[in-house]
Structure 1
Amino acid sequence: MSLVDHLRARLSHRYTYLRGRLSGLLGSREHASEALHETWLRLERMSTDTPVADADAYLLRMAANIAHRQYKQSSFYLSADDITELIDFADEQANVEELVSNRLATEHLLQALQGLTVRQRAILIAARLHGERNEDIAQHYEVSVSTVQRELRIALRYCEQYMQTQHDTVFTSATGRRRARS
Structure 2
Amino acid sequence: MKTEELELAFKTHAGELRAFLYRQLRNTDTAADLVQETYLRMLRQPPRGPVLNLRSLLFRIARNLVIDHTRSRGTRGQHDEGMAYLYEVTGESPEPFAEVAARRELARMAEALQRLPPRCQEIFLLCRLEGLAHKAVAEQLGVSVSTVEKQLAIALDFLGQSLQR
TM-score w.r.t. length of structure 2? 0.45
Query: Quick one: higher RCO (CA 8 Å, sep 6+), 1 or 2?
Result: 1
- Structure number with greater Rg is 2
Larger helix share, 1 or 2? 2
